[in-house]
Amino acid sequence: MQFQLVKGMKDILPEEQPYWELIRHNVDLMGANYGFARLDTPVLEFTNLFKRTVGEATDIVSKEMYSFVTAGGDKLSLRPENTAGVARSYIEHGMVNQPQPVKVYYLAPQFRHDNPQAGRYRQFWQFGFEAIGDKDPVIDAQLIIMSHNFLTDLGLEVEVQINSVGDSNCRPNYLKTLRHYYQDYKKDLCSDCQERLNKNTLRLLDCKNKRCQELAEQSPQFVDHLCEECKNHLMSVLEYLEEVDIKYNLNSRIVRGLDYYTKTAWEIVEAGAEGKASALGGGGRFDDLVELLGGRPTPAVGFAMGIERIVALMQEKQIKIDKEKYCDLYIAQLGVEARKKSLRLFEDLRRDGFSLAENISKKGLKDQLEVASKKHAKYTLILGQKEIADGTVLIRDMENGIQETVDFNKIKAEVRKRLSSQVMRSLKIRTKPPVV
Ligand code: AMP
């Protein structure tokens, strides 16, 4: 019997890792630049957390959760999204007492038992940024700018689709208007939408079925039914976006799949692919979520992006990234004794913070020097039989091939001296071409 990947799962192979590494690196950088701290929540949460927040009538909760009862009788689920966990954590750890907004980010796998297809997995990775405890539209705008610029910085052309899904003040009336509109077309709707009509009416607007889409296009738009407060909020967000030249499309079909959104809702899609491609990411306000979980009324806004989809689009667009690994020093060895001594030398230099590479199992010097040049090593330290006997090391300048013999005990000082006059390659893997 041959084992295979579980349906909907994906291996992220070593050759794909440079893309992932670049994304992880940029996510951390974005956290640092905009003042968000990392928050890791567990993969497992109580099932009720998602029922309460994402909503029982949503596809995610009603059809796609990996839920089970533990031996101890707890009803748990693999998280289908991360915002509910973040809000739970915010309340549980009394973050309400910290200066607001509390700004956190995560990068973590999510699980949805959906039908797998291109760009849709059952385990997929998201990173997300959440600002909890501030109702100012400038925060919505900043998160939209972040989610947009993250992708353009990677070389992707994207656009923002934006909408408002109102609040508890104006939404009930709009939903009534929408249901009224759809009543006349009930028989034209797909079976899913017929079911959703009374339970999850907003989702009719983002159904992928062709006839449902035609009907959605003619439907009354939320922007025309917003209360004063929601309308002003949306207008302010749009003004801020214009201020930084972020192009957006007002799109009444952006309603997001989760119940907890209020006011601003947006998605980021590949430029020119609206309606065709799945979104790379999306976000929105969730002013009622913390209260829904038993906390004080706390406005919040955030977004999540799918890493598999970003990587797939970068590959499709043939965006080149530097996959090579760089090092300052390469350690080459010839012979049994030299191999032993180089094991120790490697550990010694590594602990001192040098960036190193080796191929300890290789026997020929030529092979080893080839790897050293591939990794753009500045110097190769060569230990052969003669060096072992003399207590020395041969240091080879990889740029001009000049070799010099150095006392083994002075090697650290020597390489430190030589490297200190150059740009130290402290990061072993570069995500951009090295600045030398
Ligand atoms: P959502 O939490 O549904 O708003 O999704 C936010 C982003 O996560 C989407 O725009 C996708 O990039 C990604 N995503 C959502 N579901 C999946 C999935 N099943 N497989 C891969 N990526 C997904």
Q: Tell me the pLDDT tens digit for each residue of 277-318.
A: 689 999 999 999 999 999 999 999 999 999 999 999 999 999
- C-alpha to C-alpha distance for 194 and 202, rounded to whole angstroms: 12
Regarding the beta carbon of 308 and ligand 1, being less than 6 Å apart is answered yes
**Which pLDDT value is given to residue 426?**
44
- β-strand 67-69 against 75-78: which pairing, if any? antiparallel
**Which pLDDT value is given to residue 100?**
97
Model confidence at 333, pLDDT cuts 50, 70, 90, reads very high
Question: Are the C-beta atoms of residues 234 and 264 closer than 8 Å to each other?
Answer: yes
Is 64's pLDDT higher than 60? yes
Strand positions, DSSP E, 273-429: 281-285, 300-306, 329-333, 356-358, 379-383, 392-397, 403-407
Query: What's the CA-to-centroid distance between 306 and ligand 1, angstroms?
Result: 5
Angle between helices 171-183 and 191-199 (to 10 degrees): 140
The winner for highest mean pLDDT among 85-89, 181-185, 351-355 is 85-89
Regarding the beta carbon of 182 and ligand 1, being less than 6 Å apart is answered no
Alpha helices in 262-377 (DSSP H): 289-292, 307-316, 336-351, 365-374
**Which pLDDT value is given to residue 191?**
92
Regarding the beta carbon of 112 and ligand 1, being less than 6 Å apart is answered yes
pTM, 2 dp = 0.89
The atom of ligand 1 lying closest to the CA of 281 is 10
Average pLDDT over residues 173-194: 93
Q: Domains in the chain, ordered, with CATH?
A: 14-170+226-316 (3.30.930.10), 329-422 (3.40.50.800)
**Which pLDDT value is given to residue 400?**
94
Is 85's pLDDT higher than 60? yes
Question: Are the C-beta atoms of residues 164 and 265 closer than 8 Å to each other?
Answer: yes
The atom of ligand 1 lying closest to the CA of 60 is 3
The atom of ligand 1 lying closest to the CA of 121 is 20
Looking at every residue in the chain, the average pLDDT score rounds to 92
Average pLDDT over residues 216-220: 93
Residue 274 exposed, middle or buried by CB count within 10 Å (0-12, 13-18, 19+): middle
Q: Which of the pair, 258 or 406, is modelled with greater confidence? A: 406
Mutation probe of ligand 1 site: the residue of 60, 82, 110, 151 with most atoms within 8 A of C-beta: 110
Is 433's pLDDT higher than 50? no
Regarding the beta carbon of 257 and ligand 1, being less than 6 Å apart is answered yes
- C-alpha to C-alpha distance for 118 and 278, rounded to whole angstroms: 9
- Tell me which residue has its CA closest to atom 20 in ligand 1: 120
Lowest model confidence (mean pLDDT) among 249-258, 260-269, 307-316, 424-433: 424-433
**Which pLDDT value is given to residue 427?**
38
- Tell me which residue has its CA closest to atom 3 in ligand 1: 257
Helix (H, G, I), strand (E, B) or coil at 35: coil
Is the sign of the CA dihedral 115, 120, 121, 124 positive or negative?
Answer: negative
**Which pLDDT value is given to residue 276?**
60
Regarding the beta carbon of 206 and ligand 1, being less than 6 Å apart is answered no
**Which pLDDT value is given to residue 424?**
52
pLDDT in tens, 350-364: 999 999 999 999 889
- Tell me which residue has its CA closest to atom 21 in ligand 1: 120
